[in-house]
Amino acid sequence: MIQGRTVKEDNDITINREELINKIKKLQLQLSKFKSVDAEYRKAEEALLASEQNLSQFLDAIPYGVFIIDHKGNPQFANQAAREILGQDIFKETSYEKMKESHRAYFSGTRLEYPLKKMPIFRALKGDRSTIDDIEVHFDDKVIPLEISATPVYGMDGSITNAIAIFQDISKRKQARKAMKESEEKYRRLIDNSLVGIYIAQKHIIKFCNQRFAGIFGYESLAELIERPIKDIIAPESWKLVDKEVRLRESGIKETSSFEFKGLSKEGETFDIEALGNRILYQGSPAVQGILLNITERKQAESERQRLEDQLHQVQKMEAIGTLAGGIAHDFNNILSAIIGYTELAVSDIPENIETRQKLSQVLAAADRARAMVKQILAFSRKGEKEQRPIMLDEIVNEAFILLRSSLPTTIEIRPNFGDKLNPVMANPTQIHQVIMNICTNAAHAMKEEGGILEIALKEIDLVPGSIEIKNLEPGVYQQLTISDTGHGMSLEIKSRIFEPYFTTKPKGEGTGMGLAVVHGIVKNHSGEIKVYSEPGKGTTFHVFLPVTRAETMVGFEQIEPIQGGEERILYVDDENNLAEMGKQMLESIGYRIESRTSSIEALEAFRSGPGKFSLVITDQTMPNMTGLQLAKEIRKISPHIPVILCTGFSESVNEENFKSMGISAFVMKPIVRKEIARVIREVLDETGRLREES
């Protein structure tokens, strides 16, 4: 039994051992499984750790701050950029409660204080997916402007486990924005305060302009012009030009250059504009940017300057013509002196009943007309004669008539018509002569193609209140000078402008437009008035009214007097042989004893050798070596009381007004006429004799 039990026991033990071995094997199998799982877990853990490290490194590498908090608001993670932006010590706070107590945040653009929980990251814990915000975060004394966005993180059960904020420091951006704003403001002020109009035009639409631009065109606000067609501010006559210039610049074909056009104001007035422009891109499309100026005043100044330059040129031209006329007159007078002098001598030697005398009389008459013409030329060239004196207007008209008759074509008939009752007017004869010549020259121009009639009428009228002419004249007696023609006449528009300086209807080179302007000025300066009546195709009539004076006239009709001679000895000096000989014969024919010289030096020596034998010296002015004035001065040094008569065809230094102040007893204009020189000689000798008796 003991043996059997043992077996049994052995069997039991064997069974228990097998079970135990099986269990051990199972345990070993399970253990190996656990070890495998643990290894996988460890690998996963290591992979997760590596991933977290990689993520951390990645987040540290990006330039934006990344900040993660848990669902309670406690900081969980901040990358390198976040720590640099907000400061390392900000993350020493371990809880939301502590952060809430020590920090506050402000939204950009306000100074209103907001709780920390209203920051985007804390709003994200409430499920708010915030847009990008600009805020200012105040940490103690540190103010950090941030651009920030935040989003919630959800767990498996759908609850919010975390919130992530991504942000960047925008201090530099804000500084740049501030600088840009200040710059824009500065340039806006510069643009608004600019003295020139600044604009941007795109497809002929005004896209931008400054206040000066609006003001130039008479608009008060920019809103009236922005998005308005540029055609609205361009005068119709300039639109084609502006359209072309803008298109060329907008297309880039034409570079920056200036052009001028007529602008149109809000009130419909036109004015001169100068514009500059060049091609730019505005909102992605081609446009023209430029400046413009109102140059109306400048154009007026330029016009005035040009007018003055033209006037100066005209004055210089007239001076040149006057000088030339004087030179020609001097030479022509010498020729006429010989013609008149020798003809008079010939006439005096021929009996009155001989036909040759009559023919020579016609020569004298023609020479006298030539003399009158030269006199008119000299009157034209004479300068500085502005004084007014009582004159007979009909005599001035007659002088002008003689000059006109010789200068106008034979297709124009001149008809003088003078009234009987004529009194003198207070006037400057040269200027009145200019009035007549200018009006008549215009009349002749109006009739040059088909001819016609030029009528010059003169009558005395009494203007009383209620007269049609009384508008600009005081009541009284006036000389009315009427000059009318049968030319092409004038339209109302032209007639309204004929007295404007430099306005002319004549082709270039045929007139300056100053003639009637000068006429108007002269008439007004004489306290008179000028009126014009004209219609197209019906000719033109000018009426000039000059007030009558009761003062005694200084110009009258020449009285016919017998030629008076004498027996005195006279020294006669002229550098031309024929004139010296003619003067000698002329004066000897009326009794005087003449000693002639053709050299002023020889004449001075002749006088010095016997000053007591001469009663009078007659000398030409223009001579070589010594002029007549110089000779007279030297002669008076020898004999202070000897009278001297100066003869000249033209002289700028001596004239009828100043000869006495130069020690000259009398002044005679060439050509010398026997009866005139005889009268002057007798007056000078008689006056000298009277003075000697009185002394």
Fold of 194-294: Beta-Lactamase (3.30.450)
- Tokens matching residue 123: 């709003």
Mean pLDDT of 556-573: 73
Q: Give the DSSP per-residue string, 560-621.
A: P--------EEEEE-SSHHHHHHHHHHHHTTT-EEEEES-HHHHHHHHHH-GGG-SEEEEES
- Tokens matching residue 417: 């018509």
> Where residue 639 falls among pLDDT bands split at 50, 70, 90?
very high
With 70 as the cut, is the pLDDT of residue 585 above it? Answer: yes
Please, which contacts does 403-409 make with residues 24 or more away whose CB atoms are closer than 8 Å? 403/372, 403/373, 403/376, 403/437, 404/437, 404/440, 404/444, 404/454, 406/369, 406/373, 408/444, 408/454, 409/444, 409/448, 409/451
Report the alpha-carbon distance of residue 663 to residue 289 in Å, rounded.
76
CA proximity to 371, closest of 635, 123, 670: 670
- Tokens matching residue 52: 């977290």
List the beta bridge partners of residue 274: 260, 293
- Tokens matching residue 612: 């007591």
Q: How far is CA 600 from CA 583, 588, 607, 632, 639, in A?
A: 16, 21, 10, 10, 16
Helix axes 355-381 and 429-446, enclosed angle (nearest 10): 100
Domain 65-169 has CATH 3.30.930.10: no
Sign, Cα dihedral of 34, 39, 40, 41: positive
Taking the mean position of all CA atoms in its chain, how far away is CA 381? Answer: 34
Report the alpha-carbon distance of residue 129 to residue 146 in Å, rounded.
17
> Where residue 301 falls among pLDDT bands split at 50, 70, 90?
confident
* 109-113, 199-203, 385-389, 439-443: the lowest-pLDDT one: 109-113
Sign, Cα dihedral of 122, 123, 128, 133: negative
Q: Are strands 452-463 and 412-418 parallel, antiparallel or unpaired?
A: parallel
Q: What is the pLDDT of residues 643-662, one digit of tens each?
A: 999 988 766 666 666 677 78
Report the alpha-carbon distance of residue 62 to residue 67 in Å, rounded.
13
Average pLDDT, the chain: 79
Of 3.20.20.150, 3.40.50.2300, 3.20.20.140, 3.40.50.620, the CATH number of 569-694 is 3.40.50.2300
Q: Are strands 666-669 and 285-294 parallel, antiparallel or unpaired?
A: unpaired
Task: Please give the DSSP secondary-structure letter assigned to residue 479.
Answer: E
Q: What is the pLDDT of residues 686-695, one digit of tens each?
A: 988 887 777 6
The pLDDT score that the predictor gives to residue 593 is 94
Task: Supply the pTM of this predicted model.
Answer: 0.44
Q: Give the DSSP per-residue string, 299-334.
A: HHHHHHHHHHHHHHHHHHHHHHHHHHHHHHHHHHHH
The pLDDT score that the predictor gives to residue 681 is 92
Residue, of 471 and 444, whose pLDDT is higher: 444
Q: Give the DSSP per-residue string, 513-562.
A: S-HHHHHHHHHHHTT-EEEEEE-TTS-EEEEEEEEB--SPPS--PPPP--
With 50 as the cut, is the pLDDT of residue 112 above it? Answer: no
> Where residue 186 falls among pLDDT bands split at 50, 70, 90?
confident
Report the alpha-carbon distance of residue 462 to residue 543 in Å, rounded.
15
Q: What is the pLDDT of residues 658-685, one digit of tens each?
A: 677 787 888 888 888 888 889 999 999 9
Residue, of 20 and 538, whose pLDDT is higher: 538
Q: How far is CA 387 from CA 475, 480, 550, in A?
A: 25, 21, 17
- Tokens matching residue 569: 């000895």
* 180-194, 315-329, 337-351, 360-374: the lowest-pLDDT one: 315-329
Q: Are strands 257-264 and 389-391 parallel, antiparallel or unpaired?
A: unpaired
> Where residue 602 falls among pLDDT bands split at 50, 70, 90?
very high
Q: What is the pLDDT of residues 497-527, one digit of tens each?
A: 777 765 566 554 444 445 677 788 788 888 8
Mean pLDDT of 22-28: 72
Domain 393-547: homologous superfamily in CATH: Histidine kinase-like ATPase, C-terminal domain (3.30.565.10)
Report the alpha-carbon distance of residue 276 to residue 289 in Å, rounded.
8
> Where residue 561 falls among pLDDT bands split at 50, 70, 90?
low
> Where residue 236 falls among pLDDT bands split at 50, 70, 90?
very high
With 90 as the cut, is the pLDDT of residue 618 above it? Answer: yes
